[in-house]
Amino acid sequence: MEIVQQLVNGISLGSIYALIALGYTMVYGIVKLINFAHGDVFMVGAFIGFYSITVLDIGFFPALLISMVACAIFGVLIERIAYKPLRNATRIAALITAIGVSLFIEYGTIYIRGAQPEAYPSGLVPLKSIELFGVKISGQSILILGTSLVLMVLLQFIVHKTKIGKAMRAVSHDMDAARLMGINVNNTISATFAIGSALAGAAGVIFGMYYTKIEPLMGIIPGLKAFVAAVLGGIGIIPGAMTGGIVLGVIEALVSAAGYSLWRDGVAFVVLILILIFRPAGLFGKNVREKV
């Protein structure tokens, strides 16, 4: 049953990757930018959640909400200040800017509060673990999975059923055609950053609760892995990011279970290389159709 236990851990971890990967993929879908600062929004989300819980003395769900709202605003600010002026610049210029923004947030955080880690208080949510077919599933795993699931369903609803969601899909498909519909492209891009960043903020709080330790550079590795997850699923494709995240989490857990836990971080990048070689459009990607 050890393997099932690892599978549950993998899915929990994977759903955190998935939440972060969604922001990567949505932003890429709409402005064709790999937002390398996205992992740092996740970190900021973790800290906002932490301070909400410890300073404001509130529970997990209110902290989650505050972190999501704050990260949404933060994401929009990043887009407006750093990326919008470069919308017509070369992709490499935008990419380099994204790396700059990432470093700025990381070291800005260290400048403001120092580099020391914090620990999320334990027992935030008094959840009992349950036994399922002889496997003990921790309350936290259930909470993570449940929260991630709810957020993903909510995202699917927004993207497919609401006006702003339809505008987002229209802009990501054809910006000029979307303009001809009267869609405000700038606002739609901002909304995309807001939603993606809110999900990263949520992932930050969930991560803090699950792994306890948070610090200013904590966004780098999960950020990179979420990027791999997004590419794995097919960058720009929302269900792809969800699946990519879960698959990556499970692969890592299985590698750990096989006794190679030191190789865990490396595995994500092996996956990236394999995907780029054998299926560059990702699991959900169709054959690439270049726009003429």
Partner 1 sequence: MLKINDINVYYGNIHALKGVSLEINQGEIVTLIGANGAGKSTLLKTISGLLKPKNGEILFENEQVAGKVAQSIVKRGISQVPEGRRVFSNMSVEENLELGAYLRKDKKGIKEDFEKVYQLFPRLEERRKQQSGTLSGGEQQMLAMGRALMARPRLLLLDEPSMGLAPLLVKTIFRIIEEINQTGTTILLVEQNANMALSIADRAYVIETGKIVAAGTAAELSQSDQIRAAYLGGH
Asked whether the CA dihedral 185, 187, 191, 194 is positive or negative, the reply is positive
Which position has the token pair 């580099």? 115
Q: What is the closest distance, in whole angstroms, from the C-beta atom of residue 167 to partner 1 in the complex?
A: 7
**Coil/strand/helix, residue 201:** helix
Q: What is the closest distance, in whole angstroms, from the C-beta atom of residue 235 to partner 1 in the complex?
A: 15
What are the CA-CA distances from residue 191 to residues 80, 114, 117 (Å)? Answer: 11, 31, 32
What are the CA-CA distances from residue 279 to residues 158, 285, 286 (Å)? Answer: 29, 8, 10
Q: What is the closest distance, in whole angstroms, from the C-beta atom of residue 151 to partner 1 in the complex?
A: 23
Q: What is the closest distance, in whole angstroms, from the C-beta atom of residue 149 to partner 1 in the complex?
A: 24
Q: Give the nearer residue to partner 1 in terms of CB position, either 184 or 261.
A: 184
Q: What is the closest distance, in whole angstroms, from the C-beta atom of residue 292 to partner 1 in the complex?
A: 9
Provide the binding-site residues for partner 1, judged by CB under 8 A: 163, 166-167, 169-170, 173-174, 176-184
Q: Give the nearer residue to partner 1 in terms of CB position, either 32 or 179.
A: 179
Q: Give the nearer residue to partner 1 in terms of CB position, either 88 or 122.
A: 88
**231 burial via Cβ count (<10 Å: 0-12, 13-18, 19+):** buried
Q: Give the nearer residue to partner 1 in terms of CB position, either 173 or 279.
A: 173
As beta bridge partners, residue 131 has: 136
Q: Give the nearer residue to partner 1 in terms of CB position, either 84 or 264.
A: 84
